[in-house]
Structure 1
Amino acid sequence: MPILADFPKLMGSYAVSCHDINYTRAVDGLDSNSLSSDGSNKTKLDSKEFTHPKVESVYVRIFYPTTISKNSPRFAKANWLTSEDYGIALCDLVGIPCFIAKALATRAAQKSTHCFMDAPLNDKEDAYPIVIFSHGLAGNRLIYSNLCSQLASHGLIVFAIEHRDGSGSLALGADGKWIAFEKTHRENSDLFQDQIVFRAAEVQICLELVREINAGNQPCLKADPVLYEFCDRLDQQNMIMAGHSFGGATTALLLRDPINPFTCGILFDPWVQPIMNKHGCNPPLTRPILGIASDQFVKWTQNFDLVQQLFSEVIPGVTTTLTSVIGSDHQAQSDIPVRAIFFFINVGCTITVLSHLVDITFIIALCS
């Protein structure tokens, strides 16, 4: 079996491209970090009140349909990891020796995806629905390339955030310096609650980025000609919030806000302990959600009991759907399940299930 397997073929009808953007806030006076409908700039988690951090930037990889044919030689395919440092950081988290980690990281940084780099946006549709994706603990914007590319191949534009709260395996800071993973015990709830509020604030900045791109505002588009293709092409009436594990909790936190802009949410194996009040008093979900759980994740009853509670606490008229994939594990929803010292790019039974759901009208109908 190869150390780095090939990525699964794209299941949708569109070829896919990607584009990286390191965005700093451009709108003076706009409180993009506010998560509260009362404008108090506070969030209450597990009876503790958190002040929202003043996040000023966000790092995003955009996955989108492109006009380029799937086998076109005109544009290069994007490499899976943009730097060996990402691979070394991932290896370090699972205790792989340095000399092996270096070799694996080099291979991973050379591994091509099915996604072109910086190709033009497909002109088939007037506007495309939006997905904002939040990665899991020890993830980054790159290691869900299969999932995000599959979604884009079905006609969605995916904004995959690289969170800078210390929960990523490695993240590139706004100043160009690396932000390392903040190792801590799972029971350190205060740190995780601080991080999730930081993450939610980054999503708010990403929403500002979507508005800026769609409006064609110069501060966002300067020296970035790829994004000109996106002006007036982002369907802000059809936006989905999605996330895996810790990103699933980030998604749920945002979808509790009654004035959030999302049509619905998709939660992949949501690790919801950081957002659930141990006394059972939780704000209800205000948007329909679809949950896709791995077989392994369902067996973690300490968390999955809370997931079922989360899905049951909704405002009137909101529906939730929770399903599981037999034989899958938690990392099957990312690119890199770890087996011993080997990285295998996941062929993803979860992706097979999701491929039948990613049509935006179907998702909205399912969650409405």
Structure 2
Amino acid sequence: MGGAQSLGLPSAKGPHNVGCTDVMIDNSRQGSFFRLYYPCEASGEVKHPLWIPHYEYCRGLADYLNRDKRWCAPLLNMAFGYYEVPVGWDAPFKAAEKYPLIIFSHGLGAFRTVYSAVCIELASQGFIVAAVEHRDESACTTFFLKSPVEDLEPSTGATTAVQQPLEGSGIPLASPPEMDKEWLPFRKLDTANEDFAFRNKQMCQRVEECSRALDVLTDINNGKLIKNGLPGHLDVSVMKDCIDLKRVAVMGHSFGGCTSILAVSRDSRFRCAVALDSWMFPLTDDIYSKALPPVFFVNSQKFQTSDSIDKMKRLCSNNNEIKIITIVGSVHQSQTDFTLLTGQLLSLAFETKGTINPIEGLNITNRASLAFLQRHLDLQKNFDQWDALLEGVGDHVAPVN
């Protein structure tokens, strides 16, 4: 394993500072929920968000791992609860240019922050990245919001109106009422027989959620007034005219990988897809007879079966812009933050590290993805310096022929 590495998420390498915020549009289960990473202005005081956004995610991870929540959730909270994401929470958006957009789809049992290292790097290189938190019951847990309950006068049962001071009066405005979270747990399957039908249905919902996130960001870019259901200080209307809707890609890991493949086949606004160690099982056979837009498969060495590789090759036969590479020495979790945040003991238990240094593995994933995105989004950047990676040429990479 490369040199010793301290645990934590690395700072991004690109020329932009990175900010992030959470966006929830339409507080119901059918609404859109994503974490937004974006280039931001340098500011004096920077608040870093916690990597685990809420203790409930520790309970959800325990559930997904089939461990007893009573002891496993506190242990997970001890292991991960103090990590921060090295970005500026609600930092002022840098409205200097039009930025290409990436919609990111997480894997099975994950949630919106699990790919922060990849998303931060992309944002630092001049992308806006929306990491969707899916509500198809594939996240370890997620939530939507119930309407706020109005305060009742205990004596009369009548509602009380809070007198709001005028803006600009020097008196702080009262916070909006806290809305109750309705948690949506991970769905465990009862039998193997329902596996394909259910996973395919989930994948189709995930594609709709990716397109819905793109709809929201399109509205923001076009200046439509958007009401964010989550508390925050970033007014997303400052992004008006700053999202390059002609340069949009979809990206995802594992279950998010096949989601990105189906999304690029169904929604023509996505010009290309990056599939990180894609799970191919939920896709139906008809996808392999289609001429898809460009797709880039970045595989780990351990996860893929020969059947999955054959399916990827079938897609290649319809489009020579579809590329497949393997990162030598990597495992399925090498493209997640877990590879950076777990010590040796947890890594042995859950196989979060391969033989490649975790930072080096993620650098390859990021550089190869940037080279591919430059090529197929027609970007005027210097990411073509990593073009050789697209052919599987370089240290720790191999082509899949």
Report if TM-score (shorter chain) is over 0.5.
yes
Max Rg structure: 2
Which residue does 1:210 correspond to in 2?
Answer: 217
**Partner Cα separation in structure 1 for residue 262 and residue 210 of structure 2:** 11
Query: Structure 2 length normalisation: TM-score?
Result: 0.74
Partner of 1:297: 303
1:204-243 equivalence runs, <5 A = 204-220=211-227, 225-243=234-252
- 1:286 alignment partner in structure 2: 292
Q: 2:374 aligns with which of 358, 361, 366?
A: 361
- Deviation of 1:91 after TM superposition, in Å, equals 2.9
Equivalent residues of 1:241, 1:264 under 8 A apart: yes
Q: 276, 283, 286: which is aligned to 2:284?
A: 276
Aligned to 2:36: 62
Query: In the alignment, is residue 161 of structure 1 matched against residue 169 of structure 2?
Result: no
Tell me how far apart the structure 2 counterparts of residues 148 and 334 of structure 1 sit (CA, whole Å): 10
The one-letter amino acid paired with 2:64 is L
1:8 Cα deviation from its structure 2 partner:
2.0
Structure 2: distance between partners of 1:13 and 1:144: 20
Q: Letter of the aligned partner of 2:134 in structure 1? A: H
Question: Could you tell me how far apart the structure 2 residues matched to 1:4 and 1:164 are?
Answer: 34
With over 3 angstroms needed to count, the CA separation of the structure-2 counterparts of 1:221 and 1:323, relative to structure 1, is: same
Residue equivalent to 1:83: 54
Taking the TM superposition and a 5 Å limit, the aligned residue runs for 1:38-53 are: none
Does structure 2 conserve the Cα–Cα contact (< 8 Å) formed by 1:266 and 1:290? Answer: yes
CA distance in 2, matches of 1:177, 1:56: 13
> Which residue identity is paired with 2:279?
W
- Residue type of the alignment partner of 1:309: R
CA distance in 1 between counterparts of 2:291 and 2:123 reads 26
Question: Where does residue 35 of structure 1 map in the other structure?
Answer: none
1:352 equivalent to 2:352? Answer no
- Which letter maps to 2:31? S
CA distance in 1, matches of 2:228, 2:53: 22
**1:334 alignment counterpart:** 336
CA RMSD of aligned residues (A): 3.0
Match of 1:196 in 2: 203
d(CA) in 1 for partners of 2:366 and 2:200? 32
**1:110-121 matched pairs, under 5 angstroms:** 110-121=82-93
Structure 1 residues 331 and 285: alpha-carbon distance in aligned structure 2, compared to 1, 3 A threshold: farther
Shift of 1:148: 0.8
Q: Which amino acid aligns with 1:352?
A: N
TM-score, normalized by length of structure 1? Answer: 0.80
Q: CA shift at 1:271, angstroms? A: 0.8
Q: 1:6-45 maps to which residues of 2 (within 5 A)?
A: 6-24=8-26
Instruction: Supply the distance in 2 between the matched residues of 1:221 and 1:178 (Cα, whole angstroms).
Output: 18
User: Which range moved further: 228-237 or 335-344?
Assistant: 335-344
Q: Deviations over 1:83-136 (max 9, x none)?
A: 11112321332244532430321452321111121001123x321000000111
| Alignment correspondent of 2:175 | none
2-structure distance, mates of 1:174, 1:196 = 23
Which residue is 1:311 aligned to? 316
Mapped partners of 1:4, 1:226: distance in 2: 35
Unmatched tracts of structure 1, length 5 or more: 26-53
**Whole-Å separation in 2 of the counterparts to 1:343 and 1:249:** 22
Q: How many Å separate the matches in 2 of 1:116 and 1:144?
A: 16
Q: Distance in 1 between matches of 2:192 and 2:253?
A: 17
Separation of aligned partners in 2, 1:78 and 1:281:
39
Contact 2:220 2:226 in 1 (8 A): no
1:262 CA drift (Å) = 1.4
SS in structure 2 at match of 1:265: strand
Structure 2 CA distance for partners of 1:215 and 1:6, relative to 1, 3 Å? same
**Pair 1:109-2:81 in alignment:** yes
Report runs of 4+ in structure 1 exceeding 4 Å deviation: 1-4, 221-225, 340-346
Tell whether the 8 Å contact from 2:50 to 2:85 is kept in structure 1 after alignment: yes
Residues 101 and 55 (structure 1 numbering): CA distance in 2 closer, same or farther, change over 3 Å? closer
Match of 1:38 in 2: none
User: In terms of mean alpha carbon deviation, does 201-210 or 83-92 score higher?
Assistant: 83-92
1:248-303 deviation per Cα after TM superposition (whole angstroms, max 9, x unaligned): 1111112223x5101211011111121132xx7744143111110001124x2232
Q: Identity of aligned pairs, percent?
A: 25
> Structure 1 residues 79, 308: closer, same or farther in 2, change over 3 A?
same
SS at match of 2:303: helix
Check whether the contact 2:276–2:299 (CA below 8 A) recurs between aligned residues. yes
User: Which of residues 247, 250, 267 is equivalent to 2:259?
Assistant: 250
Query: How many angstroms apart in 1 are the aligned matches of 2:4 and 2:185?
Result: 29
